[in-house]
Amino acid sequence: MSVPDLSDVDGDVYVTPRYLAGSSGVGDAGFAPVAHWPHHHLDEGPYQLVVTSPDHRIRIGWAGDDYYLWTITAAPDAVSAHRWSVIANQNTPAELVGALTAALAEDWAPDQDRFLSAPAGWSNSLTLLADAGWQLRHAGPGVIGALAPGGQAGAVADLRRHGAQDEVFTLWAGPEGWATQAEITFTANTPSHLLLAVAKAFADPAPVARWRENLHPALAARAQLTPITPPRPAVPTPRDVRPRVAVRHPVAIGSVPRWSTSTPSALLPARAAARR
């Protein structure tokens, strides 16, 4: 069996389910799909880094020290108001954000605007979650919720009429708390296929890597942690490594030779021969 290459794995444990992994502290996994897009490092304002599509219609803002860590928007052109927005907080695993940025990178081209297409509803995302074992439930008039197996993640879809910039769909994971619960919200005009990409990432059974010491204890207690490298064999003790000594099995009494008075002296033990 071949040994997997773990040189690029940033962590010492795999976390399952992935939505309980929390933030890794960096946005690499979220920015990786758009690494080839222009990067703008800002000294002032809420965002330390803004990555844009080449025509600036898509913008991905990273606020490194803010609770609302990611803000992703899209507009018809570089100077128009955005048509939709997605916000992910500081506890959201970057791998889940990366599912959205990967879809945007695939959508973008100078002569097309699929990332601005009108939403076709949220039913496909809810269906996907239900197929993955999430339990659908009514959360109020015009509101449908979904709860992941184990109750550690969920979704809320508000199907009532709203303004274009109202938040109408939320995916969350982890116990309540400023430092523990992940949350991604989508405004009403977010294209359905983009939401579906993030829902798929939530339902994906593949784990993500984290450093155990950086994982919040409340998340570690609820997730399954698997060491990335198997534990080393126990160090052998001196008793394990000392040379083995051949064991002489006792000889049956009846087989012991009896010396006679005629036995030659040369065949007797040295001391016995000396006494003779």
Does any domain span residue 198?
Answer: yes
Residue 18 DSSP one-character state: G
CB 175 within 8 A of CB 222: yes
* pLDDT at residue number 238: 57
In a domain, 242, yes or no: no
Residues 144 and 262 in one domain: no
Residue 149 has what pLDDT? 96
- Look up residue 65 and give its two tokens: 């020290």
Q: What pLDDT is recorded for position 251?
A: 46
Distances (CA, A) of 26 to 86, 147, 170, 177: 19, 28, 23, 20
**Same domain for 147 and 252?**
no
Same domain, residue pair 147 and 33: yes
- Confidence (pTM): 0.80
Domain check: are 99 and 131 in the same one? yes
Left, alpha or beta for 11 (phi > 0: left; psi -120 to 50: alpha)?
Answer: left
Give the per-residue pLDDT at 247: 42
User: Could you tell me the pLDDT band of residue 234, with boundaries at 50, 70 and 90?
Assistant: low
According to DSSP, the residues that pair with 88 across neighbouring strands are 70, 184
Same domain, residue pair 112 and 199: yes
The C-alpha angle 88, 194, 18, rounded to 5 degrees, equals 55
Cα separations in angstroms, 161 against 53, 76, 85, 86, 257: 31, 23, 17, 18, 108
Q: Domain range spanning residue 270?
A: 247-275
The encoded tokens of residue 60 equal 């991905």
For residue 110, what are its two tokens? 């100078």
Cβ(170)–Cβ(188) under 8 Å? no
Is 221 contained in some domain? yes
Q: 76 and 204, same structural domain?
A: yes
* Residues 260, 127 share a domain: no
The total number of structural domains in the chain stands at 2
Q: For 146-178, what is each residue's pLDDT tens digit?
A: 999 999 999 999 988 778 888 899 999 999 999
User: Mean pLDDT across the stretch 98-114?
Assistant: 96
Residue 77 lies in a domain: yes
Reply yes or no on whether the pLDDT at 270 is more than 90.
Answer: no
Query: How does pLDDT run across 12-68, given as a tens digit for each residue?
Result: 999 999 999 999 877 789 999 999 999 999 988 889 999 999 999 999 999 988 899
Strand 224-227 versus strand 58-62 pairing type: unpaired
Same domain, 36 and 111: yes
Is 232 domain-assigned? no
Tell me whether residue 215 is in a domain: yes
Residues 74 and 112 reside in one and the same domain: yes
In angstroms, the Cα distances linking 167 to 2, 84, 158, 160, 239 are 47, 10, 8, 11, 67
Residue 239 lies in a domain: no
